[in-house]
Structure 1
Amino acid sequence: MSSFLSRFPRLPFSGEYWSSKSLRFQLLTSAFALLFAISVITLWAANRYAHHTAQLSYDRSLSGSAVQILDNVRYVNLNWNVDIPISSFKVLAQSPRDRVLYLVVTEDLFVVTGYRELLTHDIVRTRVENHQPSLEPKADFFDVHYSGDAFRFTIISNSVNTPNGLTDVMVLVGQTLESRLALKKEITFQAQNLVGLVILSAMFLVLLSTWKIIRPIRSINRKIAKRSTVDLTPISLQGPLEVDHLITTINRFMAQLDTTLRNLKNFTGEAAHQLKTPLSGLKAQAELAINSNQDPETERYLENVLHACNHLDRTITQLLNQATITHRHRSMMPARIDLNQHVKQVCRDLAIHALSQKVELSYEESMHIYVNGDDYALTQMLLNLIENAIKYSPENSTIDILIHQDVGNAVLTIRDHGQGIDEKDKPHVFERFYRSPNNTSQGTGLGMAIALEVANNFNAVLSLEDTDPSGLTVNVAFPYGHWSHQ
């Protein structure tokens, strides 16, 4: 049963589906508004048709009864004689709840037979007086309130031979409206049922059609959402012509993006070779010139050149590292990384550099954690953060590196005891190429920007705190759900 029901569209009730920006909402709103307008017009037309049908049906009965009575009016032996046939009221008798009144009167208002009190009614009397006879008997109809009830009357006339010549005789037959109103209600009720059935069927078809229209778009969304960030293969999905155009456009865009990423990768590799190779040669030539030169002033100039080359080399390396990190984040699947092992390895790699600065690296862990991401990017973040701590630490000081847990977060802490960062500089320290005016040490101004980008790629939060009594503490907090013990 569940598999059978799953073939039919489910009606979503979440806010995103019923937002005014939703294509589903707009389609359904337009369709239902159109159906509502059609139903109103149809019901109004059905009501008019029911009224017309009921009037026509009972008016024919009234006129038929009046004609039969009129055919039996005679003037015999100086007296008016009417032999009212029973058949003239048979049809009207099919409405037992209705009252029937009749009146036969001459043109001079002489009542031959019937309810003479009818002539006391102003409308009836006016109709009789103003009735225009015709060669062929023709029934006229009018509505009046008589004796507390609503009546519909028909009046028909004919000429009868008398010794004084032709005399017009008029026959009035009236009936209350209960039966015709009941017929009108019955016809209207049946029409409403039919319209309701049609509208419900149309609503179901609209829902089904909307679901079929939206389904390819939702399929595209699901396919893209399930993909990794590095999967740029074409989407394979059959849909309506308009959706096929959309799929073609998306596939073309992904192909262009894939080409751009590959070109970026090639550019990064070529740039690293084309920039660093001549720079290394320039540095080697400058060092040789320093070693072979005897002029102190020339040696000072050459040392400045070598210093500029080292700074340029560091800047190029940082820029290439950042480009590589960005490319790998967009083109490689995240992997499970042992954070503790990476921190230890970076500490080993920087141990000699730290000792040359007379700084000690102290590593402590209270837990073992794994994170998902790119190992190269993680290494670059650790190198930048720990190198910064070494650079700004005074001699004979210790840099504390800890991995611990804090309120569900796995936290990497790097704490130095140097001069720290001024409060006015903290909001800008993560900007590219930012250098504090009070900072006299060499640097590119890219290290903290790279560290922040890597932390964001790992869904981690990088924050700065002051170390007591002096120094800087950097915390990289991996939130719950983005790290694991095993």
Structure 2
Amino acid sequence: MARGVTSIRRQLVYLSLLLLVTSTLAAYLGAKAYGDRAARISFDRLMLGSILQMAESISLLDGEVVIDLPSSAFGILAMAQDDRAFYGIFGPDNQRLTGYDDLPMPPSDATRISANPDMPVQLYYYDNYRGERVRFLTIRKPLIEDDRATEVAITVGQTLRARQALADEISLLVLQFVIAFTCVGLLLLVFGIRKILAPLRQLKLAIAERSPVDIQPLRIPVPREIEPLLDTINHYMAQLDSTLKRLERFTAEAAHQIRTPLAGLKSQAENALEESEATIRHQQLLQVVTSANLLANTVNQLLNQATLAHRFQSEPRIWVSLNEVVESCCRELVVWALGQQVEIAYLSEGEFRLKGDDFALRQMLRNLIENAVKYSSAGDIVEVAIEAGKGASPGSAVLLIRDQGPGIPDAEKERVFERFYRAQDNAHPGSGIGLAIAREVAEHHYARLRLRDNVPKGLIVEVSFYPPTVQAV
């Protein structure tokens, strides 16, 4: 038995793993971005604190800029022991007053922060200085003395080692937490998937532990999503039970119907062997031939019924021309009917197509036409007609088979559809299966088959096909 290329469990695990890995990567990138931002903000605040202390120590005295830098301003920058710090104070025209004289000036795209009106405007930017990447902060402080005023620019720079170390530490802590969360999440997902798929395993065990002859519906609690699967299995079992019962009934009936003619055939053959009178022996042999023909007809009908039962469950319905099927059957039977001195007339009022089984329709038509011919007298005409539905059945197509035979009493019009039923006063040989097969084929095509009296005598078999199974062409 062919097995699936993969399993649902494996697919769920792969998808869950992909989701977790994607989430872990996204979380790591987010943590790295958060670590970089946190480290940048922390050290930017240290630089801001240092530069504000420097700004407080700068004043204007007798028109001269006086600078008395406190040691605490450098102590703040020295908190990052692995970093180098740079500073510079510049007067008008970028004249160096103290500090490094080659510090880079703020570019035009420097980050400008002026959140607090009491605070000076802060310009943050990166630049390469003395072989390292450095973060700079520049502010401008106005100096006012009586009627004199000037402005100084204070720049502080710091290398990025400490802040990068802090960012990496934050990212590593978050990454460790995310990895631990991923491992725990994966274990929980595997456990959850196993638990979710447990009802399928229970369903499998419930079927595997059943006896081969037990085809009763399964009654086990399953989740709502698996209920359609359970309903499908139960529906399949119901169909299988129906098929087995039909097969059992068919086998019993077939055995009974074949056993009786065989016993009679054997008895007639034995009598013919013992009979010395040629005339009587000839009559007995004729009875043997008649019984053999009846038995062959019964076997053929039983085989046709079994074939139809199989086709009803295995063959899809397709669109066929109802007129072509009926006309073809009439052509096939016309020579045989003429041998019985009966004519077959085909009449049609319009073209129709039918969604059904071509083989089954032909079997139904052959049985109905053969019955009509068999019960007709020499010189009679059997009419096969297709008419459009009228009155309460617009759009339908009606197949009519009219004969001029003895007809069927009203009390037996329904009983003749029972398998192997034959009226006691019926002198014509037959198996009693033909009309039963015809009704089964009609029901398979959602059609209605009924019998009614012909005028002045005879029988009319009426098969009505209804939309959407039938369509006018």
After TM superposition, the score normalised by the length of structure 1 is 0.54
Q: 1:250 is matched with which residue?
A: 233
Q: Shift in Å at residue 298 of structure 1?
A: 2.9
Q: 1:126 to 1:256 in 2, by over 3 A?
A: closer
Structure 1 residue runs without a partner (length 5+): 1-15, 324-486
Percent of residue pairs bearing the same amino acid type: 32
Q: In structure 1, what is the Cα distance between the partners aligned to 2:232 and 2:113? A: 80
Contact 1:69 1:85 in 2 (8 A): yes
For 1:374-453, list aligned pairs within 5 A: none
- The one-letter amino acid of 2:124's match is F
- The one-letter amino acid of 2:278's match is Q
Q: In structure 2, what is the Cα distance between the partners aligned to 1:108 and 1:28? A: 68
Q: 1:221 is matched with which residue?
A: 204
Q: In structure 2, what is the Cα distance between the partners aligned to 1:100 and 1:58? A: 12
Q: Does 1:124 align with 2:109?
A: no
Q: Does 1:40 align with 2:21?
A: no
Once the two structures are superposed, what CA deviation does each residue of 1:117-165 show, in whole Å capped at 9, x if it has no partner?
A: 43xxxx43867x9x99998511111111211222111000011125773
Contact 2:54 2:69 in 1 (8 A): yes
Contact 2:57 2:68 in 1 (8 A): yes
Q: Secondary structure of the residue that 1:247 maps to in structure 2?
A: helix
Q: Secondary structure of the residue that 2:154 maps to in structure 1?
A: strand
Q: Does 1:181 align with 2:167?
A: no
Q: Shift in Å at residue 283 of structure 1?
A: 4.1
Q: Shift in Å at residue 299 of structure 1?
A: 6.3
Q: 1:55 is matched with which residue?
A: 40
Q: 2:184 is matched with which residue?
A: 201
Q: 1:139 is matched with which residue?
A: 122
Q: Secondary structure of the residue that 2:186 maps to in structure 1?
A: helix
Structure 2 residue runs without a partner (length 5+): 308-473
Q: In structure 1, what is the Cα distance between the partners aligned to 2:5 and 2:261? A: 60
- The one-letter amino acid of 1:139's match is Q
Q: 1:20 to 1:171 in 2, by over 3 A?
A: farther
Among 78, 84, 90, the alignment partner of 1:93 is 78
Q: In structure 2, what is the Cα distance between the partners aligned to 1:93 and 1:37? A: 41
Q: Does 1:295 align with 2:275?
A: no
Q: 1:132 to 1:152 in 2, by over 3 A?
A: closer
Q: 1:24 to 1:243 in 2, by over 3 A?
A: same
Among 235, 255, 273, the alignment partner of 1:272 is 255
Q: 1:103 is matched with which residue?
A: 88
Q: Secondary structure of the residue that 1:84 maps to in structure 2?
A: coil
Q: 1:25 to 1:63 in 2, by over 3 A?
A: same
Contact 2:107 2:125 in 1 (8 A): no
- The one-letter amino acid of 1:167's match is T
For 1:49-88, list aligned pairs within 5 A: 49-88=34-73
Contact 1:98 1:179 in 2 (8 A): yes
Q: 1:284 is matched with which residue?
A: 267
Contact 1:287 1:306 in 2 (8 A): no
Contact 1:98 1:176 in 2 (8 A): yes
Q: In structure 1, what is the Cα distance between the partners aligned to 2:261 and 2:26? A: 84
Contact 1:70 1:170 in 2 (8 A): no
Q: 1:235 is matched with which residue?
A: 218
Q: In structure 2, what is the Cα distance between the partners aligned to 1:125 and 1:309? A: 115
Q: 2:470 is matched with which residue?
A: none
Q: 1:234 to 1:242 in 2, by over 3 A?
A: same
Q: 1:20 to 1:71 in 2, by over 3 A?
A: farther
Q: In structure 2, what is the Cα distance between the partners aligned to 1:20 and 1:92? A: 64
Q: 1:77 to 1:151 in 2, by over 3 A?
A: same
Q: In structure 1, what is the Cα distance between the partners aligned to 2:134 and 2:102? A: 15
Q: In structure 2, what is the Cα distance between the partners aligned to 1:132 and 1:191? A: 29
**How many positions carry a matched residue from both structures?**
300
- The one-letter amino acid of 1:82's match is I
Among 261, 285, 289, the alignment partner of 1:305 is 289
- Indicate the RMSD between aligned Cα atoms, in angstroms: 3.9
Contact 1:143 1:150 in 2 (8 A): yes
Q: 1:262 is matched with which residue?
A: 245
Contact 1:152 1:177 in 2 (8 A): yes
Q: In structure 1, what is the Cα distance between the partners aligned to 2:113 and 2:202? A: 77
Q: In structure 2, what is the Cα distance between the partners aligned to 1:190 and 1:199? A: 14
Q: In structure 1, what is the Cα distance between the partners aligned to 2:107 and 2:145? A: 25
Q: In structure 1, what is the Cα distance between the partners aligned to 2:113 and 2:63? A: 25
Q: In structure 2, what is the Cα distance between the partners aligned to 1:104 and 1:56? A: 23
Q: Shift in Å at residue 166 of structure 1?
A: 1.9
Q: In structure 1, what is the Cα distance between the partners aligned to 2:247 and 2:270? A: 34
Q: In structure 2, what is the Cα distance between the partners aligned to 1:244 and 1:226? A: 20
Q: Shift in Å at residue 275 of structure 1?
A: 2.6
- The one-letter amino acid of 1:295's match is T
Q: In structure 1, what is the Cα distance between the partners aligned to 2:185 and 2:277? A: 96
Q: 1:286 to 1:195 in 2, by over 3 A?
A: same
Please say which of residues 168-177 and 144-153 is displaced more in the overlay.
Answer: 144-153
Q: Secondary structure of the residue that 1:153 maps to in structure 2?
A: strand
Q: 1:286 to 1:300 in 2, by over 3 A?
A: closer
Contact 2:217 2:237 in 1 (8 A): yes
Q: In structure 2, what is the Cα distance between the partners aligned to 1:303 and 1:168? A: 138
Among 93, 97, 100, the alignment partner of 1:112 is 97
Q: In structure 2, what is the Cα distance between the partners aligned to 1:181 and 1:146? A: 17
